[in-house]
């Protein structure tokens, strides 16, 4: 058993309470390699933003969970070295799919876990979530649960169609499970292809696809039922078109990739939404930078020469999200 407290990590309790009260959201960035982690920590340290490092089941398999834990511990020390005296860094399991997975993360130094039982019937979702909460709370680890189904694909999480969260269910769910935060479905979606062209309209000026708006009515209903309760948005990448264009210009083949407009995320961040998950955008930023180097300097074979620019591009993206979309800069001085 390793406690996250020994690693210098924090849970989400206090940072969510402040974010809800302050009308901003905490960034939750997925990571599975060193350059991505460096970029996240540099961006958070420079902007003094609390940050959630997310690890999916796929990332645990890819990078090895022991290595990931030491990377998170290293991230805390690195942040201090960068001049961030009291780093507020959470290590969070993204989309835990069973009690066993969540338990192993709690035992392994995670400060927060998500149990995603949203595909199960309501009563079973409650039972499994409650079981995880009872275990995690013994160790002061916070738990995110999910109600409603998001469409899209993200690692092993895939669903054909979304079902918006039913606001009338949230009070019962939150009360009976004791979860610390709740991921809801209001039209965000996993991956870089959040909407089919048929679901979108076309901007006559740019010819770009414009996705359907998020269901803010559902969000506001949920807020009314659970005032001040921390709400989480998954699948909230914006799929920056300049990165998609760079990828396609240098040999990529991303067709009609479309994400959530940043104005809508900004609006959500001002509400009870206090955690916004961003993964695909950083994948795009990394891929765009690497493709550019490969195309422009085909003789280059030192990984630092293409992963370095990739790291810079991801850092730029993270800082932009923190300062211009989530508003979490300066909130962890
Ligand atoms: Zn997700």
Among candidate residues 94, 116, 155, 180, the one labeled active-site is: 94
Mean pLDDT, range 22-32, rounded to an integer:
97
Tens of pLDDT, residue by residue over 258-280, are 899 999 999 999 999 999 999 99
In a domain, residue 333? The reply is no
In a domain, residue 240? The reply is yes
Angstrom distance (rounded) from CA 68 to CA 280: 20
What is 195-218 written as a DSSP string? Answer: S-GGGSEE-TTT--EEPPPP-HHH
In a domain, residue 331? The reply is no
Picking from 30-44, 105-119, 192-206, which range would have the lowest pLDDT averaged per residue? 192-206
156 has a pLDDT exceeding 90: no
What global pTM score does this model have? 0.94
In a domain, residue 313? The reply is yes
Angstrom distance (rounded) from CA 247 to CA 287: 7
In a domain, residue 109? The reply is yes
Mean pLDDT, range 146-166, rounded to an integer:
70
Picking from 101-105, 184-188, 270-274, 314-318, which range would have the lowest pLDDT averaged per residue? 184-188
Taking the centre of ligand 1 as the mean of its atom positions, its distance from the CA of residue 144, in whole angstroms, is 11
Taking the centre of ligand 1 as the mean of its atom positions, its distance from the CA of residue 66, in whole angstroms, is 22
Mean pLDDT, range 171-196, rounded to an integer:
92
pLDDT of residue 287: 98
**Which residue segment(s) compose the domain that 204 sits in?**
4-326
154 three-class SS: strand
94 is catalytic: yes
Count of domains for the chain = 1
Tens of pLDDT, residue by residue over 34-91, are 999 999 999 999 999 999 999 998 999 999 988 998 999 999 999 999 999 999 999 9
161 has a pLDDT exceeding 80: no
Taking the centre of ligand 1 as the mean of its atom positions, its distance from the CA of residue 106, in whole angstroms, is 19
Taking the centre of ligand 1 as the mean of its atom positions, its distance from the CA of residue 258, in whole angstroms, is 17
In a domain, residue 29? The reply is yes
Picking from 22-36, 146-160, 236-250, which range would have the lowest pLDDT averaged per residue? 146-160
CATH of the domain at 120: 3.20.20.70
Please list the alpha-helical segments (H only) found in the chain.
13-22, 34-47, 57-63, 65-81, 99-107, 122-137, 167-177, 216-225, 241-249, 262-269, 280-296, 303-320
Taking the centre of ligand 1 as the mean of its atom positions, its distance from the CA of residue 247, in whole angstroms, is 24
In a domain, residue 266? The reply is yes
The average confidence (pLDDT) of the chain is 93
In a domain, residue 65? The reply is yes
């Amino acid at each position: 058993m390793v406690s996250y407290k020994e690693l210098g990590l924090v849970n989400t309790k206090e940072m969510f309470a402040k974010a809800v009260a302050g009308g901003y959201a905490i960034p939750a960035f997925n990571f599975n390699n060193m350059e991505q982690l460096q970029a996240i920590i540099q961006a958070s340290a420079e902007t003094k933003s609390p940050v959630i490092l997310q690890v999916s089941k796929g990332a645990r398999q890819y990078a090895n969970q022991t290595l990931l834990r030491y990377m998170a511990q290293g991230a805390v020390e690195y942040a201090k070295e960068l001049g961030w005296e009291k780093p507020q860094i959470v290590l969070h399991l993204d989309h835990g799919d069973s009690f066993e997975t969540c338990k192993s993360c709690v035992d392994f130094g995670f400060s927060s876990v998500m149990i995603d039982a949203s595909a199960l019937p309501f009563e079973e979702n409650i039972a499994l979530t409650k079981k995880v909460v009872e275990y995690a709370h013994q160790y002061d680890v916070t738990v995110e649960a999910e109600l409603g189904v998001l469409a899209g694909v993200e690692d092993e999480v895939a669903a054909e169609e979304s079902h918006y969260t039913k606001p009338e269910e949230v009070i019962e769910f939150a009360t009976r499970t004791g979860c610390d935060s709740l991921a809801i479905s209001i039209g965000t979606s996993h991956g870089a292809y959040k909407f089919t062209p048929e679901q979108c309209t076309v901007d006559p000026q740019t010819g770009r696809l414009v996705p359907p708006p998020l269901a803010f009515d559902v969000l506001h209903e949920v807020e009314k039922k659970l005032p001040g309760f921390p709400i989480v948005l998954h699948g909230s990448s914006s799929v920056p078109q300049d990165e998609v264009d760079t990828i396609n210009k240098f040999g990529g083949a991303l067709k009609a990739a479309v994400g959530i407009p940043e104005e809508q995320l900004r609006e959500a961040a001002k509400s009870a939404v206090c955690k916004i998950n961003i993964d695909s955008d950083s994948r795009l930023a990394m891929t765009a930078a690497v493709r550019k180097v490969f195309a422009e300097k085909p003789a280059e074979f030192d990984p630092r020469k293409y992963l370095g620019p990739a790291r810079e591009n991801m850092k730029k993206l993270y800082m932009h999200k923190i300062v211009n979309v989530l508003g979490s800069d300066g909130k962890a001085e």
